[in-house]
A and B are shown apart, each in its own frame.
Chain A
Amino acid sequence: MTAPKTTVEAGAGRPRPDGSTPPAAGRPTGRRRPSLGSRLRRDWQLLLMVAPGFLILLVFSYVPILGNVIAFQDYNPYVGANPLEAFLKSNWIGFGQFQLLFEDPAFWDAFRNTLAITAFQLVFFFPLPILLAIVLHGLLSSRLRGFIQTVVYLPHFFSWVLVVTFFVAMLGGAGLLSQTMREAGLEPWNIMTNPDTFIILVTAEAVWKDVGWGTIVFLAALSTIDQNLYEAAAADGAGRWRRLWHITLPGLRPVIILLLILRLGDALSVGFEQFLLQRDAVGRQASEVLDTFVYNFSIATGNYGYGAAAGLFKAAVGLVLILVANKIAHKLGERGIYSRS
């Protein structure tokens, strides 16, 4: 993994066009920077290519990010003919929405659920792709490995609607498991509507969908570990488990830490669709997470300022978490997701 910094400057070391080309043709030629006009003349095609993406991000990412300020408003969509006019005419109320939010027990329920689910998945989901990658990496037959990889990557491409549908069909009240249990004369149990086991259910769904996909990055890291290390360790008498502990896992360490940071930065986003889809089957108490809270208390009910405040709170905490996690990674001597050097 190259540092983003090197990526950015990758071009600085590229071979310059030799003397035969006029200085204006290549990009970073002489020591003197060409004037703005000549750079514009040289690069206008590149700028034009970037323009559509620039506009889409401007309209659908940057404007909404700035639009967060409605969290400080008593935003009323009906005072204007369009959202912009409504925004200009709505009253500013400062931190009023946040005050309401922090006094709302439903918000804290959602907050608790979110953290509980993140923590649970960190323990019961996060290590699984590492384990699976190590097992797959150890397979001798590349055809068998390829087949298994093909199969386990597949669910990643299914929508959450499909994943939940599969689980309902297999484990739901009218599903295959209940059906089999009824035939065997047992009392069927419906996992899909049980709030007590909801956290296990959503984790199982997440594992089913993404455990295979998660192995890709670990498999890549495994293939870069120097085989000579294993051989030397074996020659020194290290057994299978010692090699795993002293070579394989340290080899995976940077990737593991990177993914942990990313996960931590996303601690408050446990996945939106999964929860909205199952919210009504298991009840709000167990399944409301911050994302669904934002949706249900804004767009579904028209209370936009309130939902925006909840969303802004979530984004702010997420940003702080990712900065903190990155800091810790630097302290541990790892690169993290970005490096300020």
Chain B
Amino acid sequence: MTATTVRKPRRPDARRPVWEEKPTPVGQAAKTVLLTLLVLGVLFPLWVILVTSLSSRETIAEAGGLVVVPKGIDVSAYQTILAGGAVTRALWISTLVTVIGTAVALTVTVLAAYGLSRPGSLGYRWLLAYFLLPFLIYPPLVPKYLVVTGLGLKDTIWALILPPAISVFNLVVVRGFFQGIPQELLDSARIDGASDVRTLLRIVLPVSRAVVAVVGLFYAVSYWNVWFDALLFIDRNDMYPIQRVLQSYLLAGQAPHTSGATSGVTMPPTESIKMAVVVLTVAPIVAVYPFIQRHFIKGVLIGAVKG
């Protein structure tokens, strides 16, 4: 990025413009400490929780609670959890909500984004304003609650899937990307007689894989993370998504509105079981994230620039 003024780079990657001073040792050290702390601050809690979830009762008792240095691997916590019960069920519900929700939301968003990417079409300005306004005015909580319950969605997964099925931010990101596609490509399709549906499916979508992946990740993460909507709309314990169960396992006593979620478990959860629930909640995000991470900076920026 800053390479144009340099004649002889020492390494292909590390080169400093000639006019830039060498960093002082103090500055260098401060930067190193800051960045190391930052990286450790994110990774260390994850490590401790993973290790504790994989530790035996004895190791945990010896460490006095959480385990930092692992001593052998014990997967009994996971066996207990996945043998059935509240957590297994919640994982299924969350998977279902995430898969169906992401599919629905992506479809709705891509269609709307394409429909709103052709200036001059019928009602273009009005429709665009209609879609962008909710960005400034959030749906108020109480009336939204009444609408969702009034539609009979309470205690169904649709209460979690439908209201957030289009996010204006994601719409703006996808639409921005679509508008960046070279016009010649779309014009040639039209000259060849392709309809809008055909253009979207055959030309626009194939070149938009990256942005669809990013927005898909955003939707998937938000569906996987759904907690508050579940607090509002899901009263039945056996319909709880994983975040609700996690909260009642780990933060119960802090939140009395949600007692009774532990009905599927007979014993009080041990430390390793608690931490195993955390790991299972984190795992899907950490597993998918690296594959899509490299795309999303571009995606977010399109949103930031056009929005």
Contacts and interface: CB of A to CB of B under 8 A. Distances in A.
B236 interface: no
A270 interface: no
B119 A10 contact: yes
Contacts of B304: 1, 216-217, 220
Given A65-B139, A140-B13, A223-B1, A49 B111 contact: yes
A128 to B, nearest CB: 10
Contacts of B130: 54, 57
Interface in B3-29: 4-5, 13-17, 19-21
Contact of B243 (A64, A161, A217, A235): A161
A216 B196 CA distance: 34
B263 interface: no
Contacts of A40: 122
Given A160-B227, A165-B246, A60 B139 contact: yes
Q: Is the interface of A mostly helix, strand, loop or mixed?
A: helix
Given A165-B246, A273-B227, A12 B119 contact: yes
Contacts of B2: 227
A208 interface: yes
A40 B123 CA distance: 10
A2 B305 contact: yes
Contact of A157 (B145, B196, B289): B289
Interface string A31-42: 000001001101
Interface residues on A, range: 35 or more
A11 B285 CA distance: 38
A291 B227 CA distance: 15
Interface residues of B, number: 112
A42 B142 CA distance: 41
A46 to B, nearest CB: 4
Contacts of B54: none
B143 A67 contact: yes
B59 to A, nearest CB: 14
Contact of B255 (A57, A165, A276): A276
A100 interface: no
A27 B120 CA distance: 6
A142 B15 CA distance: 11
A56 interface: yes
Contacts of A280: 253-256
Interface string A260-298: 000000000100110011111100000000010011001
B92 interface: no
Most interface-central of B31, B34, B228, B301 (chain A CB within 10 A): B228
Nearest to B197: A45
B81 to A, nearest CB: 16
B42 A154 contact: yes
Interface stretch (B71-79, B95-103, B161-169, B207-215): B161-169
B19 A60 contact: no
A148 B31 contact: no
A332 interface: no
B245 to A, nearest CB: 10
A321 to B, nearest CB: 12
Interface in A170-186: 170, 174-176, 179, 182-183
B40 to A, nearest CB: 9
A339 interface: no
Contacts of A219: 297
A300 to B, nearest CB: 7
A52 to B, nearest CB: 5
Contacts of A176: 48, 65-66, 68
Interface in A200-226: 208, 211-212, 216-217, 219-220, 223
A293 B27 CA distance: 46
B17 A230 contact: yes
Contacts of B243: 159, 161-162
Most interface-central of A147, A161, A176 (chain B CB within 10 A): A161
Interface in A225-282: 227, 230-231, 234-235, 239-240, 269, 272-273, 276-281
A30 B184 CA distance: 19
B49 A169 contact: yes
A162 B281 contact: yes
A214 B178 CA distance: 25
B116 to A, nearest CB: 6
B144 interface: yes
Contacts of B17: 227, 230-231
Given A67-B140, A68-B140, A235-B19, A17 B191 contact: yes
Contacts of A101: none
A46 B122 contact: yes
Interface string A1-19: 1100001111110110100
Nearest to A213: B300
Contacts of A120: none
Nearest to A34: B122
Nearest to B252: A280
Contacts of B254: 277-281
Nearest to B288: A157
A135 B31 contact: yes
8 shortest interchain CB distances as A-B pairs: A11-B119, A67-B143, A53-B112, A159-B225, A50-B115, A83-B150, A234-B19, A49-B115
11 contacts: A11-B120, A46-B114, A53-B112, A77-B146, A157-B289, A159-B243, A162-B278, A169-B45, A230-B20, A273-B227, A315-B138
